[in-house]
C-alpha cells in the first residue's frame, strides 16, 4: 500500500519554491511512478482552450496527446469537475485505450483559480487497483500541487 503521508511530504519538499508548473508536474509524476505499486502510467493532462486536455508530463508508455472534454475517463473528470475511479476500464463507456493492457484508472481534476487546470491520471494493469485510500491520498496530493501552481 502506498504511504501517502510520505508521498505528500516528498511532493511538498520537491515543489517548494519551484515556480514552474512543468518542472513540478514532471517531478510529481516521477514520484508517483516510483512510490506506487502496480501502476503502469502516472501523469498529467493540461486543459487548453477550455474544451480539451493536452498531454503533459508523465511516466510510462507514450499516450494519447489530446482528449476532448467529456470524452474518456479524463474528459469525464474534467467535465464533471470531480474525481473518477474506474474499477474495470472495459466496463467504462468511452474509455480511451491508450494502452490496451490498462485495466483500472483513477483521474482527479486539478483546479487553479476556480477553473480546471488539468487532471492527474493514473493507470494500472490490475483490475480494481484504486481504493478509497488511494482516492483520499491522491486528492491530498493534488491539493499540495494546487498550492504551488503558478
Give residues in contact with ligand SME (CB under 6 A): 41, 63-64, 67, 72-74, 95-96, 98, 102, 105, 121, 123
Distance of alpha carbon 31 from alpha carbon 42, whole angstroms: 9
CB of 97 to ligand SME, least distance (A): 7
CB of 13 to ligand SME, least distance (A): 27
CB of 17 to ligand SME, least distance (A): 30
**Distances from the Cα of 61 to the Cα of 18, 33, 68, angstroms:** 27, 12, 20
CB of 143 to ligand SME, least distance (A): 22
Q: Chain centroid to CA 140: how far?
A: 12
For ligand SME, which is the closer residue by CB, 56 or 148? Answer: 56
Q: For CA atoms 41, 15, 79, 86, give the dihedral sign.
A: positive
Residue nearest to ligand SME (CB): 72
Confirm if 124 and 102 have CB atoms less than 8 A apart.
yes
82 φ, ψ (degrees, to nearest 5): -140, 165
CB of 37 to ligand SME, least distance (A): 18
For ligand SME, which is the closer residue by CB, 63 or 141? Answer: 63
Distance of alpha carbon 47 from alpha carbon 68, whole angstroms: 9
For ligand SME, which is the closer residue by CB, 30 or 64? Answer: 64
At 144, list the grid cell. Answer: 499540495
For ligand SME, which is the closer residue by CB, 56 or 137? Answer: 56
Amino acid at each position: 500500500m502506498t504511504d501517502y503521508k510520505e508521498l505528500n511530504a516528498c511532493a511538498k519538499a520537491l515543489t517548494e519554491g519551484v515556480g514552474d508548473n512543468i518542472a513540478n508536474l514532471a517531478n510529481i509524476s516521477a514520484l508517483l511512478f516510483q512510490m506506487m505499486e502496480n501502476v503502469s502510467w502516472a501523469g498529467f493532462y493540461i486543459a487548453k482552450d477550455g474544451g480539451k486536455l493536452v498531454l503533459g508530463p508523465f511516466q510510462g508508455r507514450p499516450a494519447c496527446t489530446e482528449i476532448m472534454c467529456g470524452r474518456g475517463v479524463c474528459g469525464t473528470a474534467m467535465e464533471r469537475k470531480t474525481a473518477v475511479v474506474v474499477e474495470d476500464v472495459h466496463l467504462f463507456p468511452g474509455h480511451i485505450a491508450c494502452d490496451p493492457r490498462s485495466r483500472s484508472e483513477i483521474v482527479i481534476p486539478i483546479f487553479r483559480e476556480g477553473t480546471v487546470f488539468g487532471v492527474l491520471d493514473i493507470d494500472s494493469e490490475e483490475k480494481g487497483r484504486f481504493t478509497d485510500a488511494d482516492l483520499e491520498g491522491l486528492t491530498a496530493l493534488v491539493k499540495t500541487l494546487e498550492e504551488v501552481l503558478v
